[in-house]
């Protein structure tokens, strides 16, 4: 489908939606960047700019045996003909090809200042000179024989090679690094001899494994030497094309001329600036975080000269060999003296970026060389056959030379002579042309012999070339032979040593830490420091003397050691760790440094530190006990926190849940009671359930259910709680108070072993253990904290329950409904729940009663003075969500005003006083009211006029 794009008159701006423009333009851009700039071709191992530098230099005849050219001349020629980009990009690429500390087998022979391993840049191109190196000629050898495709340059005015012949596997030998759009490549350099041996081995056995190839290629061979550690890592990297291996500087501890010990560095890691690395070490000696560990260092100097690299870190006179070795390990751990080499072997194969393993790279290279040899052999065979044909003509002509001369003399022109030769002596046109151009001295007997020898020689050449083209095996033999010749001519010894044991790359941190007792302080805002115990003992030791900024104060005081691990638990459930020695040392009065500057990833603005522990030994039989804001508890063994990572998830939290406390206990310790304090002011102690050890990524076990929006702010171990008996009272404002006596109808006598059930007019119920309320202070607690959306005026009844396994709860509504529900239905309630479901939304409860007696009678009085008494056993037991059954059939203008339960076995008289709104009074004896059937209309027990109704019953 053709897109409807509007092209304005100036042909400059095209109006098109960005969502269409981006996919159409960005993807081609990304592909072109990868192909034409950033990624090397697997066949010659070169990016386009490097290929153009080599070809441009070749066309300028800047050969190894010719004088140097000014770099600016070479760069200018390449810019004008092949590479229409900035001169800096070309010259910078050329500098890399010339540096023997960056490129394993330099392609450019540079004359002048071409930079140094200290990070110095090369001189400007107007000052330097360059030419191709001998091995660069192997990259371009046979190009004149048409072995590669020549393509138009950017302007179509010149031809340039699509790829160079590359007579050795340059991608592996010199490696590559570059960044494209969305991908990158990083291929370390290797030893030329080893790569050629591996290529030959691959040609001999296409099924060879990567591990077998590594018998030839031991690993990367870097221009700057060094030591590579870990064979397993390399095998993985060579198989997948991705990975990393450890690279270490070549160091030794020697006794210097001064008589002191010193670390001597003779080989620095690849692509690491020597000067910058020594500067970093120098700065570390003045940094409070490292100064104590590096205190024995007295001098750092660079003694490198023309004879080689040599840097010396000199120690103080008192430093012995053991301490020197410890400091060397410390520097390997903390600096780039030991670093990683990344493998990300991405190259262009068949025009597409592919992540390639070692074997695939060799496969592509060998297949490409087969093409090169085939094309070259065809070209050579064609030329040999042409020459053979000419020589055949010469030999034939020498036998009849007198007749030929006579014919030529009788001819009118050269063209006529050629025609006559072809007609009279049966020569071909090329033969006739060659005879006509033959000089007379070639007619001597000696020359005749040379033609015959050449004839025999060409016959052998043609036979040999034909044999090569007819057999892939012969082509591979040629490739092997020429590769071996290149290896013998240009190969050198390996510079980088290989240590196969991966474990040797690991440096045990405990080995490099100087064990020292320290004191750690941390403020509320997260300023942390360490002070040696000796220095602390000489100071005042008062945290008030620490100079925190206004509003900040010390929150943690920890006795620790430089070898200890500090564990910081945050309210988000994460654990962050840092070694004691990595906390910077400050004087006692100094506040220190922010923790989030020391531990990557921790954000003190979003997370609060809940607990801090200093751990010396993770093998101890100890556990962490975690407490959370929703009343959860969890126990995890200390060994679960052994890690090299800075951050671990300590426990899994639910939405809205926060970690509020952490305790470290002996594994044998039995946690029986937990004291809980909540945001609303509740303070109580609960018995802890049996807590098993669990993994870190497990949620907590509920210890207690907190009501409404209340949450725990503190939880701690406690002793057995005190048993109390008390009254719970709810006043008109909805404030729950604990009193010594009941002061209203909305109060109940209870004890620490009971549960409180609070019922509302709209059929809701709140269940809460009485012990949670027993320590409420004199100001009380608002019930809205426990029941979020409650209307205080809707609180109907409070019931105290000690045993849920017996008895029933009776519900009565103003529309004359009754329901009997077993008390045990309310045993599993966690917070608020529905206790009664109304059939009519306008209905509401008028009373809730509890009884555990068998013979119970129910008595109801309506607003119009009607009364009914019936047996409770006529009401079947129903669930919490049931709507109940009819207790009394009401007239339309009547409602239930009063109801209660009567013990049928009690002979006591129940006298009730009824008062109407107009002041009329009536006293009745409940015993005198006759039992009726449930759901009847009842009996009039008080005369009520039309606009009057029962107001009060007592």
Catalytic status, residue 330: no
| Full set of structural domains in the chain with CATH | 24-194 (3.90.199.10), 250-336 (3.30.1360.40), 366-490 (1.10.268.10), 511-683 (2.120.10.90), 803-954 (2.120.10.90)
pLDDT of residue 24 exceeding 80, the answer is no
Name the 3-class secondary structure at 596: helix
pLDDT of residue 789 exceeding 80, the answer is no
pLDDT of residue 904: 77
pLDDT of residue 511: 66
| Three-class DSSP labels, 31-88 | HHHHHHHHCCECCCCCCHHHHHHHHHHHHCCCCCCCCCEEHHHHHHHHHHHCCCCCHH
Measure the CA–CA gap between 123 and 112, rounded to whole angstroms: 8
Provide, rounded to the nearest whole percent, the portion of the chain with pLDDT above 90: 54
At residue 227 the predicted structure's pLDDT band, cuts being 50, 70 and 90, is very high
pLDDT of residue 440: 64
pLDDT of residue 788 exceeding 80, the answer is no
pLDDT of residue 9 exceeding 70, the answer is no
pLDDT of residue 831: 74
pLDDT of residue 412 exceeding 70, the answer is yes
pLDDT of residue 559: 93
Q: What is the mean pLDDT of residues 519-540?
A: 90
**Unique residue bearing structure tokens 């592996």:** 172
pLDDT of residue 446 exceeding 60, the answer is no
Measure the CA–CA gap between 886 and 936, rounded to whole angstroms: 9
At residue 562 the predicted structure's pLDDT band, cuts being 50, 70 and 90, is confident
pLDDT of residue 864: 92
Measure the CA–CA gap between 113 and 96, rounded to whole angstroms: 13
Measure the CA–CA gap between 585 and 721, rounded to whole angstroms: 45
Contact 284, 330 (CB under 8 A): no
Point out which residues pair with 228 in neighbouring strands.
Answer: 247, 498
pLDDT digits (tens, 9 = 90+) for 883-928: 899 999 998 889 999 998 988 777 677 788 999 998 899 998 888 8
Q: Where are the beta strands (DSSP E) in 790-910?
A: 795-801, 808-813, 817-822, 831-834, 845-851, 856-862, 866-871, 885-886, 896-903
pLDDT of residue 5 exceeding 60, the answer is no
Q: What is the mean pLDDT of residues 484-503?
A: 91
Those residues whose C-beta lies under 8 Å from the C-beta of residue 801, and which sit 6 or more positions away, are: 754, 755, 756, 757, 823, 826, 850
pLDDT of residue 399 exceeding 90, the answer is no
Give the closest residue to 736 by CA, choosing from 708, 705, 703, 702: 708
Q: What are phi and psi of 408, to 5 degrees?
A: -65, -40
pLDDT of residue 686 exceeding 60, the answer is yes
Q: What pTM was estimated for this model as a whole?
A: 0.66
pLDDT digits (tens, 9 = 90+) for 462-473: 998 989 889 899
Listing DSSP states for 617-659 in one string gives: -TTSSEEEEEEETTSEEEEEEGGGG--SSSEEE-S---TT--E
At residue 1 the predicted structure's pLDDT band, cuts being 50, 70 and 90, is very low
pLDDT of residue 104: 94
Measure the CA–CA gap between 200 and 953, rounded to whole angstroms: 111
Measure the CA–CA gap between 897 and 868, rounded to whole angstroms: 12
Joined tokens for residue 655: 């939405």
Measure the CA–CA gap between 527 and 522, rounded to whole angstroms: 5
Contact 384, 465 (CB under 8 A): yes
Contact 245, 340 (CB under 8 A): yes
pLDDT of residue 4 exceeding 60, the answer is no
Pairing of strands 517-523, 527-532: antiparallel
Measure the CA–CA gap between 423 and 434, rounded to whole angstroms: 16
Measure the CA–CA gap between 469 and 378, rounded to whole angstroms: 8
- Distance of alpha carbon 247 from its chain centroid, rounded? 23
Point out which residues pair with 565 in neighbouring strands.
Answer: 579, 615
Point out which residues pair with 247 in neighbouring strands.
Answer: 228, 339
* 20-29, 118-127, 198-207: least confidently modelled range: 20-29
pLDDT digits (tens, 9 = 90+) for 820-868: 999 999 987 877 889 999 999 899 999 999 998 888 999 999 999 999 9
pLDDT of residue 293 exceeding 80, the answer is yes
Q: What is the mean pLDDT of residues 33-56?
A: 90
Joined tokens for residue 695: 């993994």
Please calculate the CA angle 791-796-798 and round it to the nearest 5 degrees. 115
Q: What is the mean pLDDT of residues 732-740?
A: 86
**Unique residue bearing structure tokens 């804001």:** 629
Measure the CA–CA gap between 548 and 522, rounded to whole angstroms: 10
**Unique residue bearing structure tokens 């009663």:** 849
The DSSP symbol for 848 reads: E
More confident residue, 447 or 606: 606
- Distance of alpha carbon 832 from its chain centroid, rounded? 43
What's the sign of the alpha-carbon dihedral 145, 151, 157, 160? Answer: negative
Alpha-carbon torsion, ordered 440, 444, 447, 453, to 10 deg? 130
Give the closest residue to 93 by CA, choosing from 143, 54, 36, 126: 54
Give the closest residue to 394 by CA, choosing from 355, 351, 424, 439: 439
What's the sign of the alpha-carbon dihedral 636, 638, 640, 641? Answer: positive
Q: What are phi and psi of 140, to 5 degrees?
A: -110, 0
Joined tokens for residue 952: 């009060």
pLDDT of residue 11: 62
User: How many Cβ atoms sit within 10 Å of the Cβ of residue 872?
Assistant: 21
Q: What are phi and psi of 561, to 5 degrees?
A: -145, 155
- Angle at which helices 48-59 and 87-98 pack, to 10 degrees? 80
pLDDT of residue 8: 58
More confident residue, 746 or 321: 321
Q: What is the mean pLDDT of residues 561-574?
A: 92
pLDDT of residue 2 exceeding 60, the answer is no
| Annotated active-site residue in 29, 127, 429, 723 | 127
Q: What are phi and psi of 807, to 5 degrees?
A: 95, 170
User: How many Cβ atoms sit within 10 Å of the Cβ of residue 511?
Assistant: 11
- Distance of alpha carbon 190 from its chain centroid, rounded? 30
Q: What is the mean pLDDT of residues 773-792?
A: 83
Name the 3-class secondary structure at 125: coil
pLDDT of residue 170: 96
pLDDT of residue 3 exceeding 60, the answer is no
* 1-15, 688-702, 911-925: least confidently modelled range: 1-15
Contact 755, 800 (CB under 8 A): yes
pLDDT of residue 671: 80
Measure the CA–CA gap between 433 and 397, rounded to whole angstroms: 12
- Angle at which helices 358-399 and 401-410 pack, to 10 degrees? 80
pLDDT digits (tens, 9 = 90+) for 625-667: 999 999 899 999 999 999 888 999 999 998 889 999 999 999 8
Q: What are phi and psi of 398, to 5 degrees?
A: -65, -25
Joined tokens for residue 60: 């300028």
**How far is residue 570 from each of residues 153, 648, 650, 756, measured CA to CA in Å?**
62, 11, 9, 35
At residue 65 the predicted structure's pLDDT band, cuts being 50, 70 and 90, is very high
Measure the CA–CA gap between 638 and 617, rounded to whole angstroms: 9
**How far is residue 211 from each of residues 203, 235, 829, measured CA to CA in Å?**
16, 6, 65
At residue 585 the predicted structure's pLDDT band, cuts being 50, 70 and 90, is confident
Those residues whose C-beta lies under 8 Å from the C-beta of residue 443, and which sit 6 or more positions away, are: 398, 401
Give the closest residue to 625 by CA, choosing from 718, 556, 561, 555: 718
pLDDT of residue 442: 64
pLDDT of residue 777: 82
Joined tokens for residue 71: 């770099």
At residue 262 the predicted structure's pLDDT band, cuts being 50, 70 and 90, is very high
* Count, residues in the chain: 954
Provide, rounded to the nearest whole percent, the portion of the chain with pLDDT above 70: 96
**How far is residue 672 from each of residues 416, 595, 688, 775, measured CA to CA in Å?**
124, 35, 5, 20
**How far is residue 370 from each of residues 93, 373, 474, 479, 486, measured CA to CA in Å?**
29, 5, 10, 8, 17
Pairing of strands 939-940, 866-871: antiparallel
- Angle at which helices 358-399 and 429-436 pack, to 10 degrees? 70
Name the 3-class secondary structure at 554: strand
Measure the CA–CA gap between 344 and 186, rounded to whole angstroms: 5
Instruction: Round the average pLDDT of the chain to a whole number and report it.
Output: 89
Joined tokens for residue 899: 């109801």
Joined tokens for residue 904: 């049928």
Contact 755, 804 (CB under 8 A): yes
pLDDT of residue 784 exceeding 90, the answer is no
Point out which residues pair with 821 in neighbouring strands.
Answer: 809
């Amino acid at each position: 489908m053709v897109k409807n794009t509007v092209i304005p008159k100036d042909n400059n701006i095209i109006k098109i939606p960005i969502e269409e423009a981006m996919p159409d333009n960005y993807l081609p851009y990304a592909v072109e960047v990868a192909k034409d700039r950033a990624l090397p071709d697997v066949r010659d191992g070169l990016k386009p700019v490097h290929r153009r530098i080599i070809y441009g230099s070749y066309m300028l005849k800047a050969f190894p045996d010719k004088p140097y050219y000014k770099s600016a001349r070479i760069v200018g020629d390449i810019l004008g003909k092949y590479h229409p980009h900035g001169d800096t990009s070309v010259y910078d690429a050329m500098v890399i090809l010339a540096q023997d500390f960056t490129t394993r087998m330099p392609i450019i022979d540079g004359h002048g200042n071409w930079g140094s391993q200290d990070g110095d840049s090369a001189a400007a191109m107007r000052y330097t000179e360059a030419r191709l190196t001998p091995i660069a000629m192997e990259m371009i050898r046979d190009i004149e024989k048409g072995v590669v495709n020549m393509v138009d340059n950017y302007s179509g005015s010149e031809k340039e090679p699509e790829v160079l012949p590359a007579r050795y596997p340059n991608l592996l030998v010199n490696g590559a690094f570059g960044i494209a759009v969305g991908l990158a490549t990083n291929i370390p350099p290797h030893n030329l001899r080893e790569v050629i041996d591996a290529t030959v081995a691959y040609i001999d056995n296409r099924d060879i494994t990567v591990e077998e190839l590594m018998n030839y290629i031991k690993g990367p061979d870097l221009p700057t030497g060094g030591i590579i550690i870990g064979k397993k890592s390399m095998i993985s990297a060579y198989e997948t094309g991705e990975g990393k291996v450890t690279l270490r500087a070549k160091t030794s501890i020697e006794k210097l001329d001064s008589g002191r010990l010193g670390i001597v560095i003779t080989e620095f890691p690849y692509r690491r600036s020597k000067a910058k690395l020594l500067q970093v070490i120098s700065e570390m000696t003045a940094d409070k975080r490292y100064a104590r560990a590096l205190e024995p260092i007295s001098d750092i100097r660079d003694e490198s000269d023309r004879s080689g690299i040599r840097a010396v870190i000199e120690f103080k006179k008192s430093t012995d060999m053991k301490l020197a070795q410890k400091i060397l390990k410390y520097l390997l751990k903390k600096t780039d003296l030991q670093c990683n080499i990344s493998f990300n072997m991405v190259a262009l194969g068949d025009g597409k970026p592919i992540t390639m393993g070692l074997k695939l790279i060799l496969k592509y290279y060998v297949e490409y060389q087969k093409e090169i040899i085939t094309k070259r052999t065809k070209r050579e065979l064609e030329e040999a056959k042409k020459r053979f044909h000419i020589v055949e003509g010469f030999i034939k002509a020498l036998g009849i030379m007198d007749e030929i001369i006579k014919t030529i003399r009788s001819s009118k022109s050269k063209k006529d002579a050629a025609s006559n030769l072809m007609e009279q002596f049966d020569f071909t046109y090329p033969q006739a042309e060659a005879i006509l151009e033959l000089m007379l001295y070639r007619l001597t007997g000696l020359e005749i012999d040379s033609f015959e020898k050449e004839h025999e020689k060409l016959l052998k050449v043609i036979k040999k070339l034909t044999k090569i083209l007819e057999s892939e095996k012969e082509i591979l033999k040629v490739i092997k032979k020429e590769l071996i010749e290149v290896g013998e001519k240009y190969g050198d010894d390996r510079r980088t040593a290989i240590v196969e044991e991966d474990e040797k790359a690991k440096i045990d941190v405990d080995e490099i830490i100087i064990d020292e007792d320290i004191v750690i302080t941390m403020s509320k805002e997260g300023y942390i420091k360490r002070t040696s115990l000796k220095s602390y003992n000489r100071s005042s030791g008062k945290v008030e003397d620490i100079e925190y900024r206004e509003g900040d104060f010390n929150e943690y005081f920890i006795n620790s050691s430089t070898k200890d691990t500090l564990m910081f638990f945050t309210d988000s459930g994460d654990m962050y760790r840092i070694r004691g020695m990595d906390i910077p040392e400050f004087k006692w009065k100094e506040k220190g440094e922010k923790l989030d500057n020391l531990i990557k990833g921790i954000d003190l603005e979003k997370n609060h530190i809940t607990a801090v522990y200093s751990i010396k030994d993770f093998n101890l039989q100890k556990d962490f006990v975690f407490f959370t804001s929703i009343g959860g508890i969890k126990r995890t063994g200390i060994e679960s926190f052994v890690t090299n990572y800075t951050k671990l998830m300590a426990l899994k939290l639910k939405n809205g849940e926060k970690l509020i406390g952490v305790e470290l206990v002996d594994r044998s310790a039995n946690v029986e009671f937990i004291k809980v304090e909540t945001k609303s002011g509740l303070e109580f102690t609960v018995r802890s359930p049996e807590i098993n050890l669990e993994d870190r990524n497990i949620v907590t076990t509920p210890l207690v259910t907190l009501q409404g929006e209340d949450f725990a702010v503190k939880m701690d171990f406690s002793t057995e709680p005190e048993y109390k008996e008390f009254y719970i009272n709810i006043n008109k404002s909805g404030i729950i108070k604990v009193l010594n006596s009941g002061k209203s109808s909305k109060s109940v006598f209870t004890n620490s072993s009971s549960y409180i059930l609070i019922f509302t007019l709209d059929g809701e119920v709140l269940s809460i253990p009485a012990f949670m309320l027993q320590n409420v202070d004199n100001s009380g607690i608002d019930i809205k904290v426990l029941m979020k959306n409650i209307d205080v005026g809707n609180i109907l009844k409070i019931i105290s329950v000690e045993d849920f396994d017996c008895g029933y709860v009776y519900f009565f509504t103003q529309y004359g409904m009754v329901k009997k529900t077993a008390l045990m239905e309310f045993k599993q309630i966690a917070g608020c729940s529905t206790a009664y479901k109304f059939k009519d939304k306008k209905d509401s409860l008028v009373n809730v009663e509890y009884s555990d007696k068998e013979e119970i009678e129910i008595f109801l009085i309506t607003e119009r003075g009607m009364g009914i008494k019936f047996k409770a056993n006529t009401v079947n037991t129903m669930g919490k969500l049931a709507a109940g059954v009819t207790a009394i059939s009401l007239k339309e203008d009547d409602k239930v005003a009063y109801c209660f339960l009567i013990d049928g076995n009690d002979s006591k008289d129940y006298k009730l006083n009824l008062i109407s709104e107009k002041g009329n009074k009536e006293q009745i004896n409940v015993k005198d009211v006759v039992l009726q059937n449930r759901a009847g209309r009842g009996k009039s027990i008080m005369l009520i006029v039309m606009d009057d109704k029962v107001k009060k019953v007592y």
